[in-house]
Structure 1
Amino acid sequence: MKPILIFFTIVWVFSHAEAQFDDKRCKCICPSLSSVTNKTEKSHTSRLMFTTNDPPNKCNCDEVVLPRVSTQMSANEMREFCPRCECKYENRKTTVIRVVVIIVIWVISILVIYMAFLIILDPLLNKRVKGSYQEHTNEDEDAVPGPMSHNMSVRGNVLNRVSTQQDKWKRQVREQRRNIYDRHTMLN
């Protein structure tokens, strides 16, 4: 219940937040003004970038760039400046990006919750294994045990099912070790 509440809260926050940039915009990148004015001012040595919300038919140098820099250039310099500018109309799908990010965060959250569940579950399953580590010198003494000690009729209990699978895996590992180290054969 709690992850679902968090998920919907994140969706609501993203849907009501104002984006830093709009989905549709006009972006013009131009060289520095000193490239046409032949002035070497420190403040105008880098490239210029202008971003507006103009429609596609007005996304050009005359509509976006010149109104902002016309006071710093003459008419002749303006004619030389515009061909050097590159204006692009961009149409992005920020809603799709937001949804993908939310889904990724949601999946990672579920995996973290699952990992925490397994970390909590592990001591409950391994509480019967007590004592310190003992070196195994003879694998034949640890032969496969007879009937399993777990009651197989109790299928509804998750702990019993996980414990049964874990015991089965341990027996397979023991058998494989015995075959490889003692008999020098591989399991099929």
Structure 2
Amino acid sequence: MKHLTYFVLIFCCFTFTKGQFDDKRCKCICPSLSSVTNKTEKSHTSRLMQTTNDPPNRCNCEFVMLKIVADKLSANEIKEFCPRCECKYENRNTTIIRYVVIIVIWVISILVVYMLFLIILDPFLNKRVKGSYQEHTNEEVILEDAQPGPSHNMSVRGNVLNRVSNQQDKWKRQVKEQRRNIYDRHTMLN
């Protein structure tokens, strides 16, 4: 229940923050103003970057960057400044990204729940196996001899748990044998 609450909160955050993410944007990266003006001022030594929502035909230095730096540059410096700018129009689909993230979170949550289920079930199976271990040579279960009724349901449940635990023990023995062969004898099982 706790995981479901977290998921609902995350989903609500994604849906209510729709206005914070733009699918289309214009991004301009320009050199520092000091590279054009040949002045070494501390405030203008880093590169300039601006992101706007301008359409593709207005995604250039004249429409995006000159709004910010026109008052700091002369006409000749503007002619030098704009060719050095790199403006790109970017288009992405945040809806698809959002759904992919939600699906990944769901898959991870399901795997975590499954792992917790196996961790909880493991001690119960191991306790049962240690008390009543039988090696099975025939995998078929004959239910004709079982009597109908409540004891029949309990025996079927017990048989299912015994079969699961027997398969688990068989797998553990095989893994142990494989480790011994690979690390000690340096051979592989066929």
* Cα offset, 1:79, TM superposition: 1.1
**2:10 aligns to what SS in structure 1?**
helix
Q: Provide Cα deviations, 1:138-179, integer angstroms capped at 9, x if missing partner.
A: xxxxxx94768xx764279753442232244367679989x9
**Aligned equivalents of 1:87 and 1:57: distance in 2?**
11
**Aligned equivalents of 2:3 and 2:171: distance in 1?**
33
Q: Which amino acid aligns with 1:123?
A: P
**1:49 aligns to what SS in structure 2?**
strand
**Aligned equivalents of 1:174 and 1:72: distance in 2?**
75
Q: Provide Cα deviations, 1:71-116, integer angstroms capped at 9, x if missing partner.
A: 1011111111100001100001111111111111111111111111
The question of 1:166 aligning with 2:136 is answered: no
Q: Which amino acid aligns with 1:49?
A: M
**Aligned equivalents of 1:62 and 1:85: distance in 2?**
10
Residue in 2 that maps onto 1:25: 25
**2:28 aligns to what SS in structure 1?**
strand
Q: Tell me if the contact between 1:155 and 1:161 (Cα under 8 Å) persists in the aligned partners.
A: no
User: RMSD in angstroms over aligned alpha carbons?
Assistant: 3.5
Q: CA 1:17–1:123 in structure 2 vs 1: closer, same or farther (change >3 Å)?
A: same
Q: Which structure dedicates a bigger proportion of its chain to helix?
A: 2
Q: Which amino acid aligns with 1:162?
A: V
TM-score (norm 2): 0.72
The question of 1:62 aligning with 2:62 is answered: yes
Structure 2 gaps of 5+ residues are 144-155, 182-186
Q: CA 1:164–1:34 in structure 2 vs 1: closer, same or farther (change >3 Å)?
A: same
The question of 1:81 aligning with 2:81 is answered: yes
TM-score (norm 1): 0.73
Q: Which amino acid aligns with 2:164?
A: V
* Count of paired positions: 168
Q: CA 1:73–1:166 in structure 2 vs 1: closer, same or farther (change >3 Å)?
A: same
Q: Tell me if the contact between 1:28 and 1:61 (Cα under 8 Å) persists in the aligned partners.
A: yes
**Aligned equivalents of 1:65 and 1:48: distance in 2?**
9
Q: Tell me if the contact between 2:21 and 2:94 (Cα under 8 Å) persists in the aligned partners.
A: no
Residue in 2 that maps onto 1:15: 15
Q: Which amino acid aligns with 1:54?
A: D
Structure 1 gaps of 5+ residues are 131-143, 180-184
**Aligned equivalents of 1:48 and 1:186: distance in 2?**
61
Q: Which amino acid aligns with 1:114?
A: Y
Q: CA 1:118–1:77 in structure 2 vs 1: closer, same or farther (change >3 Å)?
A: same
Is the deviation greater in 78-87 or in 8-17? 8-17
**2:127 aligns to what SS in structure 1?**
coil
**Aligned equivalents of 1:72 and 1:176: distance in 2?**
74
Residue in 1 that maps onto 2:95: 95
**Aligned equivalents of 2:76 and 2:45: distance in 1?**
20
* Cα offset, 1:33, TM superposition: 0.4
Residue in 2 that maps onto 1:46: 46
**Aligned equivalents of 2:111 and 2:142: distance in 1?**
29
